[in-house]
Every structure is written in structure tokens, then in C-alpha cells.
Amino acid sequence: MPPADFIATPNEGEIRREREKGRELRRSPWWKRRRSSGRCHWCGTVVAPDALTMDHVVPLVRGGRSTRGNVVPACKPCNDEKKHALAFEWQPRPAMLRRLDARLRGHTPVLAVHEPARRAAVAVVLAPEEAALRLLLIRRAEHPNDPWSGHMAFPGGRAEDEDADLVATAIRETREEIGLDLKAHGTLLTRLDDVQAYAGGSALDMVVSPFLFVLDQVRETVPDPREVAESLWVPMEHLLDPASHGTLSVDRAGLVADFPAFHIGPHAVWGLTFRMIRGLLDLVEGTFDGSLRDASLHQPEVARTRPN
Ligand SMILES: [Zn+2]
């Protein structure tokens, strides 16, 4: 932090004078040219030029002046969020996170109707990185007794008696598997749709409940090698790009099934985690047909099967 006297504290009269200068500057041809691109200086969003506000890089209350060098065109959300912060104290929230905030109002997750024999919970963790938003995925360790051995997944696991509720399960498992403390660094945004668990093509009497968290920033994780082979922060833009959408062929006792999948470098995300990501993308961008939401609880969609 800079010392408190880094910027002189202006008095009321000075602030009033600078506000008046700001109003004049707003009427100038220079400002009209400056905002004609419609691009927000902070987040890069393009809006109608007259929807851009004049933002003081160093705010007036922090001693900033209404000069050409200290004002930038900013979208309304950036101007509102930045308030009295200095540029280095503040980062614009990714536009996707803002849309998510808006879409979460009125969001009701679809929950399992029948109580299953077993319950599990996972943490779907987003984190902003500059203007982008990243999603945390893990690759499960190879383990002979794990039906999802080596799969791409979200951190999470079975509910234990010690867990107060399913959110507590997701938080505990995330801490155990990758050393990430969601209580300290995360905010729970919402619960997502319950998903029926399948293993090896058979439905299990088990429901997985995903919980959506957002972190303050992308954070380092420390995978426990007994449970997690690696973890990665995948840009949401990548998952939204149709180029990453494909299928994965899985051989089941001589019958090959093609499952819809997201391709991330050498990894394919399919099955349970695919369905949960699709639910998330649907929530964020309305990318997939919302009518699939109810179906997601019941059937993993198999594109086609053929003999091997
Ligand atoms: Zn902006």
C-alpha cells in the first residue's frame, strides 16, 4: 500500500471546481471523439457511445483533476464498481460474471425428487483473471477402485456424517483434494441442478449436487496425489467455443459408445462433469437448450453406439 499522503486530500471547494470542469469537458468535441468508439477503457466492452460515462482515473475525492489526462470513457457497471478506487486498487469484473449475477436472480436448481442411497457434492469454482473467467477442473488420480479413475472432474466427493450439509461436503472435499479454502477465498453463488450418477453405463443410486462458487482471484492449488493427478484453470471462453465441443468414444465390453465431450488440450471432459458444465454454460450464456435441464438428472446422452 502507498503511504496515506500519496495523494493530497482535496477540500470541498476544490472538488466542486473539478466537477464543474468535468461538465465542461463532457461537452467538448474532444470528449465526443474520445468516446466515439464506444469502448470501455476498463473492461473493453463496446456499448453505444452515449452510454459511456466519464470516469476519473484518479477520483476527484482522491485529489484527481478533470483534465484530459485523467478522464477515460467507462461503461456504467465499471464506473459504479470502481467508485472511489484508484486504478491499481481495482480490477473490472469479467463481463461474464456480471451476466451471471443478473441471470442468477430467479434461478431455481432442479433437485432430485427421490432421496438416493448415497449423496455427493462437488464445487464448481470460477475465478476472474483480468477480463476473463476461469473454471477449475481436476483430473482424478488413477485408482482401481474408483469408477471415475483418471476422469476430468470437479473437486468433490461423498457426503460424510460429519458434514453439516452438502455445501460443507463440497468445501471439505475441495480442501482435502486440492488444498483450496473456499471458505476463506470463495463466495457461494448458487446451487446448480442435481445430477444422477452413472458408472460404467449403469445408473447408481447416487445423486451429485454441484455448488457454484466464485473466488476473488485465480489461486494456486496443491493436489493431493492420492486423489488428484492435476488441476487446471480452464478459460470459460474455451468451453463456449464450439471448436472445443466434440465426442469421446468409450469402449464398454465390446460396445463403443460416443459421448458428447469438451476437449481441453489432451483431456476430454464427458459424462457427469460434461452435464454439469453444460448446465453452467446454459446458466451463464443460454448456450444450450434449457429443456435439457430436466433431462440432465436422468439420462447421460449417448450420441450413438456401435460394435467394436
Ligand atoms: Zn467497463
CATH of the domain at 87: 1.10.30.50
Based on the fold, state whether residues 118 and 198 are members of the same structural domain. Answer: yes
Whole-number Å distance, alpha carbon 188 to ligand 1 midpoint, is 24
Whole-number Å distance, alpha carbon 304 to ligand 1 midpoint, is 45
The residue among 9 and 59 whose pLDDT is bigger is 59
Last residue of a domain, one of 57, 92, 127: 92
Whole-number Å distance, alpha carbon 39 to ligand 1 midpoint, is 8
> Which of 86-95, 104-113, 145-154, 264-273 tops mean pLDDT?
264-273
pLDDT of residue 297: 44
Whole-number Å distance, alpha carbon 132 to ligand 1 midpoint, is 13
Average pLDDT of the chain?
87
Cα gap 9→6, rounded to integer Å: 9
pLDDT of residue 7: 58
Cα gap 308→291, rounded to integer Å: 32
Cα gap 249→238, rounded to integer Å: 21
Are the CB atoms for 135 and 233 separated by under 8 Å? Answer: yes
The answer to whether residue 130 scores a pLDDT higher than 70 is yes
Whole-number Å distance, alpha carbon 15 to ligand 1 midpoint, is 24
Based on the fold, state whether residues 50 and 182 are members of the same structural domain. Answer: no
pLDDT tens per residue, range 192-228: 999 988 887 788 899 999 999 999 889 999 999 999 9
pLDDT of residue 306: 66
Residue 169 placed within a domain: yes
Based on the fold, state whether residues 302 and 179 are members of the same structural domain. Answer: yes
Based on the fold, state whether residues 157 and 184 are members of the same structural domain. Answer: yes
Phi, psi of 107 (to 5 degrees): -80, 130
The answer to whether residue 68 scores a pLDDT higher than 80 is yes
Last residue of a domain, one of 38, 60, 92: 92
Whole-number Å distance, alpha carbon 187 to ligand 1 midpoint, is 22
Burial of 98 (0-12, 13-18, 19+ CB in 10 A): middle
Stretch 51-59: mean pLDDT, rounded?
Answer: 93
Least confident of 28-32, 186-190, 202-206, 217-221: 202-206
Grid-cell match 459511456, residue found: 52
Under the banding of pLDDT at 50, 70 and 90, the label for residue 5 is: very low
- Number of domain units in the chain: 2
Whole-number Å distance, alpha carbon 53 to ligand 1 midpoint, is 10
Under the banding of pLDDT at 50, 70 and 90, the label for residue 93 is: confident
Whole-number Å distance, alpha carbon 155 to ligand 1 midpoint, is 32
Whole-number Å distance, alpha carbon 234 to ligand 1 midpoint, is 23
Domain span at residue 55 reads 4-92
Whole-number Å distance, alpha carbon 42 to ligand 1 midpoint, is 5
Stretch 65-74: mean pLDDT, rounded?
Answer: 95
